[in-house]
Amino acid sequence: MNSRKRVLLGVLGSGRGSNFAAILDSIASGRLSASIPVVISDREDAGILELAREAKIQTAVLRQGRFRTWLEPEIEEELAQCLRRFQVDLVVLAGFLRVLKGPLLAAYPGKILNIHPSLLPAFKGKEAWKQALEAGVTETGCTVHWVEPEVDSGPILGQERVPILPGDTPEILHARIQEAEHRLYPEVIQSVIDRKLWQGIHS
């Protein structure tokens, strides 16, 4: 059990941090055998940073680059160095809105998890719940997957289905998907830890 307790998660987020909060709750309740030494954001006003500070977790903010949707290689390398400094085993993307291009994927190959608000491979990219509504499908959901260079295309680790109900607006549907995300993400992270699905866990 002690070796499981030593699994260190580095969390990256750009928004208010609801998935991060769900992960913290799972750790506190003993359902997730991990700890979080650092939370990193690309936005200094991101709510996830305030949640981390309230939980007495170290935070870091990335340098602002020239691009809105991805990080320059040198900034991504600084991100990788920060995660290494905290001896992170597994990187967890929790609403991180930047596409990772290379240096972080090279530093943590097969060790970066993401959650996406659709049943991949359907509805990749931004605002997937709106895409689902516009497509007229009867259900959508969320997917936890490994991060690879192609966006929203890594191997799938877990999914939860969410029905689309009459009268759903994008906001109502998104909120229901997020409820599913908060259940699914901690469960999948624990499954990854239990099955040792990545390299480099501390012995």
Q: Are strands 139-146 and 112-116 parallel, antiparallel or unpaired?
A: antiparallel
CATH numbers and ranges of domains, the chain = 2-195 (3.40.50.170)
**Cα gap 105→64, rounded to integer Å:** 20
Q: What's the pLDDT score for residue 101?
A: 82
Q: What's the pLDDT score for residue 203?
A: 37
**Cα gap 88→149, rounded to integer Å:** 20
182 catalytic, yes or no? no
* CA-closest candidate to residue 89, choices 4, 153, 24: 4
- From the candidates 116, 145, 174, 182, give the one annotated as an active-site residue: 116
Question: Average pLDDT by consecutive 10-residue portion of the chain (203 residues)?
Answer: 66 97 96 96 96 97 87 93 97 94 92 97 96 97 95 95 97 98 98 77 43
Q: Are 43 and 59 in contact (CB under 8 A)?
A: no
Cα separations (Å) of 178 from 13, 58, 150, 167?
Answer: 15, 25, 23, 18
